[in-house]
């Protein structure tokens, strides 16, 4: 028996070490990385170091700032968390614990952006040229319309024809004014064909604005030709157990006043932010008064740890008088423009697994625009600085003063959009290993766009323009993260009712050449390539005539774009320099062409080609003591390659593009000292091609400088006093020929919060 037991004892002896090793307790470590405002920081690098300094594990935080390490053998580790723009966090942690990491911001901080990739990502890991305007900056500048804050952004040109509430257009990197996709918390706001009027879009209840420059049709489909502008509504926070109320009132010259009331907070899983505002001003021209009411709400509900529901509601109700080109002649005394916008959207978000997140969105947006002029004012001859409008007189056979007549009108433009979107985000691999971390995004979108155009005073025999289109888009995007390299490739298949199927790709690369701090800090190189498309408008595709016939065979307007740049941080994270170069080619621009003079008839064709290339420079300095300065400059070399119209010489081949300056720039200074905040914004706009459209022969518009100054003081008694001055130098200029810009404007008021 003893001999038989010897082999058994030897076998047990061999297995003993393995058995004892299997009894070693393996634990996990979880945690969350937040910024000082307790907002999650996605894609922050978290490392675990053993006692000898050797890296045991590495991970990137997910979209909610969470991380997790499994199968840890040691009892404790040194945890290190870092992200460009934030101070590195280091602390000893015990295995098995749940850790909360708060990263302090550097003097020049980075932002977490969503629009560039449809997922939360630090801007330091994004190749696209992205700018973020925070809610604090909007408040510091006392911004009324959103475009007040968009103007200083590199690569952009904001053009407003007169005072507040008048027609306002945005041009980005040489593109047309309808080449910008506009979103509100994911809700598309553009009319069919890409048109969006910024005239009465206010900055009320906004948490931030993201602007991504360059074609983004691979992510957002039609209209995202040169940029995407996304507005994010402010969310409620649990600052106290009670709701937070705010009331403010202000007044100024031009009979300007604004009143606001807001309510925000968080109770358990429910957060809320609601605001209403009323703005009224007479502007400075006759019949140019502007009245606007804004209603905004952002409601969120947590349905357990993995699921959340968010509801967005916003309404903009405005009316402005439209006196016309008062610099050239008498004002129109009765014409006005009325606009009623209503936007609604809800998003269901679910963290299905650690590596899988899903979101479902339904949105509805409606815009009702009425242009009315029921009284025919007396005719006049346009005059300006010694120039007189001239036209050919068939009776005398010579040129002479040209009379302009007032045409009565009652024009209705009604558009509606239903939007349904499903998005799935999948994480695979692990950072720090050879395979890298891969983020896969799949999205499917459906848009039903409804357009209705009617001249109600003189109905067309052919009837109103009616447009209905169902568009489908499928998106696939792959983000690969290998150490310092971040590569994004995406493609969208767009099935559009008006132009058929189009495939639009996009590639973006960001490489952190350096990540260390010190006087010469992090360096990022970036490169982008993309295609953009835009569908025809309701008038271009569907007009029944009798003088302008729509075309059902129109191709989409297209762009091809390259851009590259470098971002360099320096001066111990107190400075950042950004340089960008871009080259855009636009083709198949839709223009109107006369096909018959007797009777007069015309239609729309893909006629035009343009190009634009240039450079953007942005320098940010934060020397300390609450002081921050931002300077930007844009050089734009634009040209009409093939003209799509013959009605005005400014559109001839070889000319620069209309209302897009060759040179522009801005200087912003923010100073936050104790209870005082001062914001100074100076805008420089160079000479640009323009047209008077009044037979005066004007083909260019002189440059101008506009200086705005705002200040606020937070008293110890929950009252904030503020005042602002626009056009402090009282400059006399026109952003659009014929429409004088507002001269010196002053506002002052107070805000109560409790």
Least confidently predicted of 20-34, 373-387, 420-434, 579-593: 20-34
Q: Which of these ranges, 301-310, 421-430, 510-519, has the smallest mean pLDDT? A: 510-519
Residue 396's Cβ-count burial label (10 Å; 0-12, 13-18, 19+) is exposed
- Three-state secondary-structure class, residue 21: helix
Amino acid 518: pLDDT: 82
pLDDT at 11: 38
pLDDT at 2 over 60: no
Classify 462 as helix, strand or coil. Answer: coil
**Partners of 224 in beta bridges:** none
Parallel/antiparallel/unpaired status of strands 548-549 and 600-624: parallel
Q: What is the pLDDT of residue 647?
A: 67
Q: With bands split at pLDDT 50, 70 and 90, how would you rate the model's confidence at 600? A: confident
Structurally, at CATH architecture level, domain 25-102 sits in Sandwich (2.60)
Percent of the chain past pLDDT 70, that is, above it, reads: 96
| pLDDT over 90 (residue 547) | no
Grade residue 31 by pLDDT with cuts at 50, 70 and 90. very high
567 CB-side CA count, 13 A? 26
Distance CA 571, CA 574 (A): 5
**What pLDDT sits at residue 517?**
77
Residues 77-90 have pLDDT tens digits of: 999 999 999 999 99
pLDDT number for residue 305:
87
Give the architecture (CATH level 2) of 231-753: Beta Barrel (2.40)
Residue 433 — pLDDT band, cuts 50, 70, 90?
Answer: low
Top pLDDT among 552 and 290 is at: 290
Please work out, in degrees rounded to the nearest 5, the angle formed at the alpha carbon of residue 371 by the alpha carbons of 368 and 374: 135
334 near 373, Cβ under 8 Å? yes
Contact by Cβ (8 Å): 406, 373: yes
User: Is the four-CA dihedral 282, 287, 288, 290 of positive or negative sign?
Assistant: positive
What is the CATH architecture assignment of 112-230?
Beta Complex (2.170)
State the pLDDT at residue 278: 98
The angle formed by the CA atoms of residues 164, 165 and 169, to the nearest 5 degrees, is 100
Structure tokens at 62: 């997910």
The DSSP H or E segment spanning 133 is strand 129-134
Q: Where are the domains of the chain?
A: 25-102, 112-230, 231-753
Q: What is the mean pLDDT of the chain?
A: 93
Give the span between the Cα atoms of 154 and 131, in whole angstroms.
8
Identify the pLDDT of residue 345: 98
pLDDT-above-90 percentage for the chain: 84
* Position 593 confidence tier, pLDDT thresholds 50, 70, 90: confident
Q: Read off the tokens for 448.
A: 């039903």
Of 672, 553, 543, 730, which is closest to residue 137 (Cα–Cα)? Answer: 672
- Give yes or no for a contact between 319 and 291, defined as CB atoms under 8 angstroms apart: yes
pLDDT class for 601, splitting at 50, 70, 90? Answer: confident
pLDDT band, very low/low/confident/very high, at 166 (cuts 50, 70, 90):
very high
Q: Convert 692-716 to b/e letters by CB count within 10 Å (16 or more is b).
A: bbbbbebeebeebebbbbbbbebee
pLDDT tens digits along 683-715: 999 999 999 999 999 999 999 999 999 999 999
Q: Pick the closest to residue 437 from 487, 501, 402 (CA basis).
A: 487
- pLDDT score recorded for residue 596: 79
pLDDT of residue 25: 62
């Amino acid at each position: 028996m003893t001999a038989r037991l010897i082999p058994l004892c030897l076998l047990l002896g061999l297995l003993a070490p393995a058995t004892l090793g299997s009894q070693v307790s393996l634990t996990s470590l979880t945690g969350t990385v937040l910024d000082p405002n307790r907002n999650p920081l996605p894609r922050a690098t978290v490392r675990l170091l053993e006692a000898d300094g050797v890296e045991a594990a590495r991970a990137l935080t997910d979209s909610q700032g969470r991380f997790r390490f499994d199968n840890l053998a040691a009892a404790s580790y040194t945890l290190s968390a870092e992200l460009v723009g934030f101070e590195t966090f280091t602390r000893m942690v015990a295995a098995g614990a749940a850790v909360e990491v708060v990263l302090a911001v550097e003097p020049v901080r980075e932002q977490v952006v969503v629009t560039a990739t449809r997922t939360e990502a630090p801007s330091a890991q994004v190749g696209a040229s992205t700018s973020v305007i925070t809610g604090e900056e909007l408040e510091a500048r006392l911004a009324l319309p959103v475009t007040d804050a968009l103007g200083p952004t590199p690569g952009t040109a904001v053009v407003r024809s007169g005072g507040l509430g008048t027609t306002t257009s945005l041009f980005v990197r040489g593109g047309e004014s309808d080449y910008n996709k506009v979103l509100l918390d994911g809700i598309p706001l553009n009319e069919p064909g890409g048109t969006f009027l910024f005239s009465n879009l206010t900055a009320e209840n906004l948490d931030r604005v993201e602007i991504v420059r360059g074609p983004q049709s691979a992510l957002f489909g039609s209209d995202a030709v040169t940029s995407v502008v996304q507005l994010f509504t402010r969310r409620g926070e649990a600052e106290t157990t009670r709701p937070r109320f705010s009331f403010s009132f202000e007044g100024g010259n031009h009979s300007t006043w604004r009143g606001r009331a807001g309510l925000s907070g968080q109770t358990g899983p429910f957060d809320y932010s609601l605001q209403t505002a009323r703005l009224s001003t007479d502007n400075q021209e006759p019949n140019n008064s502007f009245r606007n009411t804004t209603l905004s709400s952002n409601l969120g509900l947590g349905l357990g740890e993995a699921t959340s529901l968010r509801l967005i509601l916003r309404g903009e109700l405005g009316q402005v008088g439209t006196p016309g080109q008062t610099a050239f002649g008498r004002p129109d005394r009765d014409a006005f423009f009325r606009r009623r916008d209503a936007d609604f959207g809800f998003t269901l978000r679910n963290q299905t697994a650690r590596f899988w997140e899903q979101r479902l969105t339904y949105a509805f947006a409606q815009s009702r625009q009425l242009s009315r002029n029921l009284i025919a004012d007396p005719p006049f001859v346009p005059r300006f600085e010694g120039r007189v409008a001239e036209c050919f007189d068939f009776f005398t056979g010579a040129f002479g003063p040209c009379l302009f007549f007032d045409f009565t009108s009652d024009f209705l433009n009604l558009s509606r959009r239903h939007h349904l979107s499903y998005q799935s985000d999948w994480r695979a691999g692990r950072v720090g290993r050879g395979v890298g971390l891969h983020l896969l995004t799949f999205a499917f979108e459906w848009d039903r766009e409804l357009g209705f155009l009617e001249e109600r005073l003189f109905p067309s025999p052919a009837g109103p323009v009616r447009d209905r289109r169902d568009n489908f888009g499928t998106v696939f995007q792959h983000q690969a993260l290998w150490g310092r390299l971040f590569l994004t490739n995406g493609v969208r298949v767009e099935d559009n009712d008006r132009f058929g199927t189009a495939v639009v790709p996009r590639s973006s690369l960001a490489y952190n050449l350096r990540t260390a701090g010190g006087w010469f800090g992090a360096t990022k190189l970036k490169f982008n390539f993309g295609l953009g498309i835009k569908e025809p408008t309701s008038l271009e595709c569907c007009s029944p005539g009798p003088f302008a016939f729509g075309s059902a065979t129109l191709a989409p307007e297209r762009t091809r774009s390259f851009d590259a740049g470098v971002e360099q941080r320096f001066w111990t994270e107190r400075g950042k320099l950004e340089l960008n170069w871009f080259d855009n080619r636009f083709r198949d621009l839709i223009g109107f062409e006369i096909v018959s003079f007797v009777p007069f008839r015309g239609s729309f064709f893909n006629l035009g080609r343009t190009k634009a290339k240039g450079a953007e420079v942005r320098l940010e300095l934060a020397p300390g003591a609450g002081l921050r300065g931002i300077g930007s400059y844009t050089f734009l070399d634009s040209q009409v390659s093939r003209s799509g119209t013959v009605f005005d010489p400014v559109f001839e081949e070889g000319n620069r593009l209309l209302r897009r300056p060759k040179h522009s720039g801005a200087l912003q200074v923010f100073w936050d000292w104790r209870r005082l905040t001062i914001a100074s914004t100076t805008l420089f706009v160079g000479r640009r091609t323009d047209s008077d459209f009044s037979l005066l022969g004007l083909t260019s518009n002189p440059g101008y400088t506009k200086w705005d100054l705002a200040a606020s003081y937070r008293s110890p008694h929950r009252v904030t006093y503020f005042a602002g001055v626009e056009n402090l130098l009282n400059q006399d200029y026109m952003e659009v020929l014929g429409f004088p810009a507002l001269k010196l404007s002053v506002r002052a008021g107070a805000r109560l919060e409790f």
